Structure 1
Amino acid sequence: MSDLFDQSGADSTAPRPLADRLRPRALSEVIGQQQVLGPDAPLGVMLASGSLSSLILWGPPGVGKTTIARLLADETDLDFVQISAIFTGVADLKKVFEAAKQRRRAGMGTLLFVDEIHRFNKAQQDGFLPHMEDGTILLVGATTENPSFELNAALLSRAQVLVLERLGDGDLDLLLSRAETELDRKLPLTDAARTTLKDMADGDGRALLNLVEQVAAWRTEGDLSPEQLSTRLMRRAAKYDKSGEEHYNLISALHKSVRGSDPDAALYWLARMLQGGEDPRFLARRITRMAVEDIGLADPQAQGICLEAWQIYERLGSPEGELALAQAVVYLALAPKSNATYVAYKGAMALARQTGSAMPPKHILNAPTGMMKDQGYGAGYAYDHDAEDGFSGQNYFPDNVPRPDLFQPVERGFERDLKKRVEYFAKLRAKRAGD
């Protein structure tokens, strides 16, 4: 099999890295990803039926995207060609496609593996389409980014997206065991330190094996504790893209944890975003939005607490000011919830679009000129302060718009009192209408 444009640059005389030595030789040896590789999973079914199609492998780093692509080529007797979108230009792609055509004429198929496929622009992605359609290549693309956002619709319609997951604790245990078997010795770690080592890898199998190589090279007396391990190794930074999908995933998790009245989960997601380098000002703005959308008038203080936390952060900066954001998040999570105003506002916007330019009823229009008075502007207006109970019950909607019930407060927090007021005025309005 050929590896045209493979940018690995491996030196055949150098010691092979542990990750390369442990690379699976068959799909059955791949650790994890049974949701994709199992007998009833997409790839298992495709291989059993002999109907492998073009694929997009979407998942975090170090979960086996490249390995799976290589093994698929082995399983299907296709020539494996690997390129990276980072280093490959239009001229290189033309050479790849021409070589694939020559192979096809010789009766050989090509599995073209494209790493970081999301780095290609729309025009470059379109360039794959005719070669996929005529069978010149079977495309397997790998990406860490959401294909829905990064790949064009034409390419996605011709390839099946398979989602690969971070390796779980059991997967990492198995990988550690294989590494120790390959090294022919046990790592000098206590059980707690082994757990710390797995945590440092953060679900990335390649990162774990790199850490294992470092640990295996140490000369130690006895097994290392988690504290000793942490002083010798740097914890791998958690995956977080401040402008990409991870940014939106984590802010969604924070928002829904607040809405779900779970202060512990809300604090966890806040901490994850802050540790990832998120701008605290963005968080302050979104936290205030949560107060408006999900707490509403069930606790009118919530918005003020968020604004105060925002102001405190601006005055103190990081890291001291971040505690104010944490306090606001806890307050919101424990506050009574209501989206009644949010729902009412959306209903009002929909009604406004529906009714277009409907005029207010004439009795609530001002009449600064004689002509406007002659037209009936202001005629029959009842000044509410002069009415019994300070409430006239007049109609304030356009004459041809039936009165809607937009604001429906809930039986939680301060909105209990507002609900009583809504019901009180509704009864008075009905009474005035009947008089």
Structure 2
Amino acid sequence: MSKTDSLFGKLAPQPLADLLRPKTLEEIIGQGHLLNPDKPFRTMLERGETQSLIFWGPPGCGKTTLAQVIANYINMHFECVPATLGGVADLRVVFDNAKKRRSMGQGTLLFVDEIHRFNRAQQDVLLPHIEDGTIILVGATTENPSFELNAALLSRMQVLTLERLSLDDLKKLLKRAESLLGKTLPLDDEGRTVICHMADGDGRYLLNMAEILFNARSHTPLTYGEISEYLQKRTPIYDKRQDAHYNLISALHKSLRGSDVNAALYWLARMLAAGEEPLYILRRLVRFASEDIGLADPQALVQTIAAKDAYEFLGSPEGELAIVQAVVYLATSPKSNAAYIAQNKSLKVAKEAGSLMPPKHILNAPTKLMKDQGYGKNYLYDHNEAEGFSGQNYFPEKLPRIEFYQPIEIGFEREIKKRLDYWQKLREKKSI
């Protein structure tokens, strides 16, 4: 590097997040489930055991930093290749250099940021160099590795889940920034909490906001309104096409099933605030009404269809209240999956039994030939029978009677069970 480059390098501004980047494991804030002294991963590092890793976690939780610290800790050369820029040709240069270092006794830790963006060819080219020890690969991703990485690569790596930084972690990060710069943020305790919540677990985003506030040059704590003027609120992390999309709809579905109306409202609000398509949510609610409530409350399906109609009529934001109403109704309804179980059981038997004919006595006989074949013979018209119930067999003659639908003693299904038990007694009585 020339003297000129060095001079301008010193003059160039360095982001606060980069100035504060930890150099040792002890300096890393958060990720105690991996880095505390008694944790297996920390023990593995202390023993000098190395293997290729996937860091899976949200933005700003320290994936890149942890990879750099690990490289220093195990005395390996750190090589970084962003997946958005590194092609196969670039990787081959990295491998050639890594082989030269290896011949001189130094290993290479290759860090691939956003590794989920590598295509199959790029992922495949990594395999032999992981296997022969040319590199230790550490990949970082915000997406579920099970969906984004091919099985061959994933089988050669250990997946470690990194967590978003907690409120306490973020507050520690602010104190560290103040200590480094030798000055105090123009914030009181409430203001610190506000910007930590705005960061939504992202340490890098928090430090970017802190850098703006350090430059505000205010001698008194900023009010909430002043903070809002300086900073823009972070949009919740949510990609409608990726993992967070499915995680949140799953959280809503299970909260409804667990009859936790408040948790259900929270997950609904999270999705709506992040821009989820309301009609997608409504489709899931309609499904839920049949799958998890069914005839325990027949009005559940009516309510969800009405909410769908109301939303289509009103649009956002007015129509979103109808979705809220449906969520409250579903969460507080009695639950039964008896209809769902009946569907699965009957479908299984129908596939296994094959094309069995209905019993002839319940078939219509519009022609003389069909009558001669016994179609409709001895059919009992239920309305003409005592109690309005004939008790005849409607299953195929070669298939025994199966109780697919078994209502539970909850909600309206309690009444349905009484009816079924009553008809079963009549059926048994008539068979004597």
Which range, TM-score by smaller chain? over 0.9
Q: In the alignment, which residue of structure 1 is the partner of 2:306?
A: 308
The 3-state SS of whatever aligns with 1:128 is helix
1:385 deviates by 1.2
TM-score, scaled to structure 2: 0.95
- For residues 70 and 189 of structure 2, the distance between their equivalents in structure 1, rounded to whole angstroms, comes to 36
Q: In the alignment, which residue of structure 2 is the partner of 1:224?
A: 222
1:192 touches 1:225 (CA, 8 Å); kept in 2? Answer: no
* 1:390 matches 2:404: no
Q: In the alignment, which residue of structure 2 is the partner of 1:7?
A: none
1:150 deviates by 0.2
- For residues 317 and 251 of structure 1, the distance between their equivalents in structure 2, rounded to whole angstroms, comes to 21
- Cα 1:44–1:221 change in 2 (3 A) is closer
Instruction: Please give the per-residue CA displacement for 1:84-134, whole angstroms capped at 9, x wherever unaligned.
Output: 110111211121112212222222211100001000111211110000001
Q: In the alignment, which residue of structure 2 is the partner of 1:38?
A: 36
The 3-state SS of whatever aligns with 1:378 is coil
Moved more, 199-208 or 252-261: 252-261
- For residues 31 and 388 of structure 1, the distance between their equivalents in structure 2, rounded to whole angstroms, comes to 78
Pairing 1:260-339 to 2, within 5 Å after superposition: 260-339=258-337
Q: In the alignment, which residue of structure 2 is the partner of 1:98?
A: 96
* 1:380 matches 2:378: yes
**What's the Cα RMSD here?**
1.5
Moved more, 273-282 or 358-367: 358-367
Q: In the alignment, which residue of structure 2 is the partner of 1:145?
A: 143
Q: Aligned pair count?
A: 425
Q: In the alignment, which residue of structure 2 is the partner of 1:417?
A: 415
TM-score, scaled to structure 1: 0.95
2:116 touches 2:141 (CA, 8 Å); kept in 1? Answer: yes
- For residues 153 and 10 of structure 2, the distance between their equivalents in structure 1, rounded to whole angstroms, comes to 36
The 3-state SS of whatever aligns with 2:179 is helix
Moved more, 141-150 or 213-222: 213-222
Q: In the alignment, which residue of structure 2 is the partner of 1:69?
A: 67
1:275 deviates by 0.9
Q: Give the letter for the 1:50 counterpart.
A: G
2:112 touches 2:138 (CA, 8 Å); kept in 1? Answer: yes
Moved more, 109-118 or 331-340: 331-340
Q: In the alignment, which residue of structure 1 is the partner of 2:3?
A: none
The 3-state SS of whatever aligns with 2:396 is coil
- For residues 192 and 171 of structure 2, the distance between their equivalents in structure 1, rounded to whole angstroms, comes to 9
1:421 deviates by 0.7
Identity of aligned residues (%): 60
Q: Give the letter for the 1:379 counterpart.
A: K
Instruction: Please give the per-residue CA displacement for 1:36-66, whole angstroms capped at 9, x wherever unaligned.
Output: 2223334212212322100000000111111
- For residues 109 and 347 of structure 2, the distance between their equivalents in structure 1, rounded to whole angstroms, comes to 52
Moved more, 392-401 or 194-203: 392-401
2:212 touches 2:230 (CA, 8 Å); kept in 1? Answer: no
1:200 deviates by 0.6
Structure 2 unaligned segments of length 5 or more: list them: 1-7
- For residues 355 and 103 of structure 2, the distance between their equivalents in structure 1, rounded to whole angstroms, comes to 68
Moved more, 87-96 or 146-155: 87-96
The match for 1:161 among 159, 162, 167 is 159
Q: In the alignment, which residue of structure 2 is the partner of 1:233?
A: 231
- For residues 11 and 378 of structure 1, the distance between their equivalents in structure 2, rounded to whole angstroms, comes to 95
- For residues 92 and 366 of structure 2, the distance between their equivalents in structure 1, rounded to whole angstroms, comes to 76
1:163 deviates by 0.3
Instruction: Please give the per-residue CA displacement for 1:192-232, whole angstroms capped at 9, x wherever unaligned.
Output: 11110100110011111111111111122421233332233
Q: In the alignment, which residue of structure 1 is the partner of 2:181?
A: 183
1:11 deviates by 5.3
1:261 deviates by 1.4
Instruction: Please give the per-residue CA displacement for 1:137-166, whole angstroms capped at 9, x wherever unaligned.
Output: 110000000000000111111000000000
- For residues 345 and 426 of structure 1, the distance between their equivalents in structure 2, rounded to whole angstroms, comes to 21
